[in-house]
C-alpha cells in the first residue's frame, strides 16, 4: 500500500497539517521541513498535487485564543487584533479557555482543522512551557504571557518593572507592610511577583505575596480572610484588573475604605478604577498596542517564515490616584518631606 500523509506525519512526529505545509510552501522552519521531507522520502510518499493545491489555499483567518474574555484587558486586546486583521483582509476566530489547559489543547486542534493562517495566544504557564509552535501548521504569537526564550514570537509588558514601580510608589508613600495578589496560572503573575519581591528586598523588606486563581471571586475570598488576620498588610497590590476588583469588593463588604484602612494598587486602567472614591492607583498597560503589535508580528511571520524569533517588551505607565495617598506615618520616609 502506498504511504499516506498521516504516515509521514507519524514518522516525522508532527501533525498532518504541518506535513502539508512543509511539503508545500507553508510557514515552517528549515529544520522541520527537512525532517518531513526525509520522512516522506523514506516512506516513498508521493503527494496528490491537486489535493495539495486545495489544502494550500489560505483561509485568511486568524485564531485568537485568550485566557479569560471577562477580563477587560483581553477584551481590549481582542479589539485591537480584530481591527488589524480587518485591515489586512483577514477574519478572526475568538476562543476563550478559562485558563484551562484542556481547552487550550482543544482550541489549538480546532485551529488546525480550520486551517487558520496563524494564532495569537495567551497560554497558561503549563501550556507555554511545552508549546512547540513547529508542531502546528501555523505560526503562533504569544500575548501577555511568554514561554522559554526563542520558543515563539511574543508581545508582553515589562512585568517585573511594572510591579516594582508600584512597590516603589507605595514605599515612597510610607507603606511598609505590603501584600500582593498574583495569578497562579500564567507567567505574568510569576513575573510580577518577582518584581514585587525584588523591589521590597532592595529596601531590606519582605512582603507577602499570595498566588490565587486570577478571578475577582478568588480575590474577594482571599482578601476577606486576610483582613480578618491580626497581621494584615497596610497596602495591597493586585496583579490584574479582576484581582483588583475582587480586593475592592472585599474591602467594601468589610465596611472599610481605601486608603484609610488599606491602600490599593494594581494593574489595568479600566474606566471603573477612576470612579471609585478618589480613584485607584494602577499601571496602565498599552493594551491596544499589544494587540496591534501581535497581529503585525503574525503577518510578518506569514510573509517571511524564516524570520528570527522576536520578543517585544512594552512599558506600562503608573497612574497615581487617591487609593495610595500618603500613609499617616510617612513623614521623612523614602522621599517624603
- pLDDT at residue 133 tops 90: no
CATH superfamily membership of 60-157+287-315:
Response regulator (3.40.50.2300)
Global pTM exceeds 0.85: no
State the pLDDT at residue 21. 65
Task: Read off the pLDDT band of 60 (50, 70, 90).
Answer: confident
Where in the chain are the domains?
5-47, 60-157+287-315, 159-285+319-334
State the pLDDT at residue 16. 64
- The two beta strands, 317-319 and 281-284, are antiparallel
- pLDDT at residue 335 tops 70: no
| pLDDT digits 0-9 by tens, 68-113 | 999 999 999 999 999 988 888 789 999 999 999 999 999 999 999 8
In CATH terms, are 60-157+287-315 and 159-285+319-334 the same topology? Answer: yes
Task: Read off the pLDDT band of 53 (50, 70, 90).
Answer: very low
| pLDDT digits 0-9 by tens, 302-320 | 877 888 999 999 999 999 9
Residue of 334 and 218 predicted with greater confidence: 218
The DSSP 8-state label assigned to residue 319 in this structure reads: E
The single residue listed with the C-alpha cell 488576620 is: 229
The DSSP 8-state label assigned to residue 325 in this structure reads: P
> What topology is assigned to 159-285+319-334 in CATH?
Rossmann fold (3.40.50)
State the pLDDT at residue 185. 93
State the pLDDT at residue 48. 56
Residue of 253 and 52 predicted with greater confidence: 253
- pLDDT at residue 267 tops 50: yes
Amino acid at each position: 500500500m502506498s504511504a499516506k500523509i498521516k504516515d509521514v506525519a507519524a514518522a516525522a512526529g508532527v501533525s498532518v497539517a504541518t506535513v502539508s505545509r512543509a511539503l508545500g510552501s507553508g510557514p515552517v522552519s528549515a529544520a522541520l521541513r527537512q525532517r518531513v521531507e526525509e520522512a516522506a522520502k523514506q516512506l516513498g510518499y508521493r503527494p496528490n498535487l491537486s489535493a495539495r493545491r486545495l489544502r494550500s489555499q489560505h483561509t485568511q483567518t486568524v485564531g485568537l485564543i485568550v485566557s479569560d474574555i471577562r477580563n477587560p484587558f483581553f477584551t481590549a486586546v481582542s479589539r485591537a487584533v480584530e481591527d488589524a486583521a480587518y485591515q489586512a483582509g483577514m477574519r478572526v476566530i475568538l476562543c476563550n479557555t478559562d485558563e484551562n489547559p484542556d481547552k487550550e489543547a482543544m482550541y489549538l486542534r480546532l485551529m488546525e482543522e480550520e486551517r487558520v493562517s496563524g494564532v495569537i495566544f495567551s497560554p497558561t504557564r503549563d501550556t507555554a512551557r511545552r508549546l512547540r509552535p513547529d508542531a502546528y501548521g501555523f505560526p503562533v504569537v504569544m500575548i501577555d504571557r511568554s514561554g522559554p526564550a526563542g520558543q515563539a514570537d511574543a508581545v508582553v509588558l515589562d512585568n517585573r518593572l511594572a510591579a516594582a514601580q508600584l512597590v516603589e510608589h507605595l514605599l515612597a508613600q510610607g507603606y511598609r507592610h505590603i501584600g500582593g495578589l498574583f495569578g497562579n496560572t500564567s507567567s505574568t503573575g510569576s513575573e510580577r511577583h518577582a518584581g514585587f519581591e525584588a523591589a521590597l528586598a532592595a529596601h531590606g523588606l519582605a512582603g507577602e505575596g499570595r498566588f490565587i486563581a486570577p478571578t475577582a471571586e478568588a480575590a474577594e475570598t482571599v482578601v476577606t480572610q486576610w483582613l480578618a488576620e491580626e497581621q494584615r498588610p497596610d497596602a495591597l497590590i493586585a496583579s490584574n484588573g479582576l484581582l483588583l476588583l475582587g480586593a475592592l469588593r472585599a474591602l467594601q463588604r468589610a465596611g472599610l475604605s481605601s486608603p484609610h484602612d488599606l491602600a490599593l494598587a494594581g494593574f489595568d486602567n479600566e474606566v471603573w478604577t477612576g470612579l471609585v472614591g478618589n480613584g485607584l492607583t494602577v499601571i496602565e498597560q498599552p493594551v491596544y498596542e499589544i494587540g496591534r503589535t501581535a497581529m503585525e508580528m503574525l503577518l510578518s511571520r506569514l510573509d517571511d517564515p524564516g524570520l528570527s524569533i522576536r520578543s517585544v517588551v512594552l512599558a506600562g505607565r503608573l497612574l497615581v490616584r487617591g487609593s495610595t495617598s500618603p500613609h499617616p506615618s510617612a513623614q521623612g520616609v523614602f522621599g517624603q518631606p
